[in-house]
């Protein structure tokens, strides 16, 4: 089975659907968390035989790149090869807590399921995920609530880092630089579940300069669901 992989934004923006019998969709993503940011979002409409990720299976290298560093390299080539339709980076950057981002998408015939991914910041390898949601054929507005997933590729140490795949630590880009602590010693060792699974959430602590975690236990913790997707079928 061909699996879609996360993608580089600039390449995704060049994708367009030219197939006939296209469906017209409006896709809106809302951040439901109190203090978590989402990296640039990829919403992909594709055939049911393909998938961005599989719960209970090991993450692909490309999914790891997205989940650990927010990078979306790789998906554009595969998306083009299977004629997927992509709404890339509708927020124009990070999606802040409570914020919404939306865009229109014209889909090719045969592309009947929707998947959505974006890294959650600050986390080590957490991401929002929608896997192969079947798009209704009747016009109307539909709502889906998304859980937070752990890619299973990096220990959840909750300390600052580069976000380079395979390296420990969380990326902390602006505007999180002043919202995330530093000097934490780490809250966890190696994870025992190396497959994609529901994220346990952040542990955090109440210190910005030391302690176990660089994550705030009063601001950057969350419970599922973490995002809401609203799809309007026209």
Cis bond upstream, residue 122 (ω within 30): yes
How far is residue 104 from each of residues 8, 25, 101, 137, measured CA to CA in Å? Answer: 19, 6, 11, 17
Write down the domain spans for the chain. Answer: 9-13+23-152+222-233
3-state DSSP helix/strand/coil % of the chain, to nearest 5: 10, 30, 60
- pLDDT (tens, 9 = 90+) of the chain, 234 residues, equals 345 443 333 333 333 333 335 689 999 999 999 999 999 999 999 999 988 999 999 998 889 999 999 988 766 666 777 789 999 899 999 999 999 999 999 999 899 999 999 999 999 999 999 999 999 999 999 999 999 999 999 999 999 999 999 999 999 999 999 999 999 999 976 678 999 999 999 999 999 999 999 999 999 999 999 999 999 999
Question: Are 113 and 130 within 8 A, CB to CB?
Answer: no
Q: Which CATH superfamily is domain 9-13+23-152+222-233 in?
A: F-spondin domain (2.60.40.2130)
Classify the phi-psi angles of 202: left when phi > 0, otherwise alpha if psi is within -120 to 50, otherwise beta: beta
* 8 Å CB contact between 219 and 205: no
């Amino acid at each position: 089975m061909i699996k879609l992989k996360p993608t580089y934004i600039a390449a995704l923006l060049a994708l367009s659907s030219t197939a006939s019998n296209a469906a017209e969709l409006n896709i809106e993503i809302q951040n439901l968390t109190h203090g978590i940011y989402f990296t640039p979002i990829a919403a992909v409409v594709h055939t049911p035989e393909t998938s961005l990720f599989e719960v209970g299976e090991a993450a692909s290298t490309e999914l790891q790149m997205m989940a650990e560093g927010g990078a979306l390299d790789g998906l554009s080539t595969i998306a083009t090869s299977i004629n997927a339709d992509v709404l890339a980076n509708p927020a124009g950057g990070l999606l802040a807590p409570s914020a919404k981002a939306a865009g229109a998408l014209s889909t090719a015939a045969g592309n009947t399921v929707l998947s959505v991914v974006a890294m959650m910041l600050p986390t080590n390898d957490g991401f929002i995920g929608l896997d192969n949601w079947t798009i209704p054929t009747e016009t109307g507005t539909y709502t889906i609530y998304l859980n937070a997933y752990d890619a299973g590729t990096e220990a959840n140490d909750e300390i600052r880092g580069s976000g380079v795949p395979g390296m420990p630590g969380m990326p902390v880009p602006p505007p999180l630089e002043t919202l995330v602590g530093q000097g934490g010693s780490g809250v966890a060792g190696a994870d025992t579940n190396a497959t994609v699974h529901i994220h346990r959430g952040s542990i955090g602590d109440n210190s910005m300069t030391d302690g176990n975690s660089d994550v705030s236990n009063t601001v950057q913790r969350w419970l599922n669901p973490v995002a809401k997707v609203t799809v309007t079928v026209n």
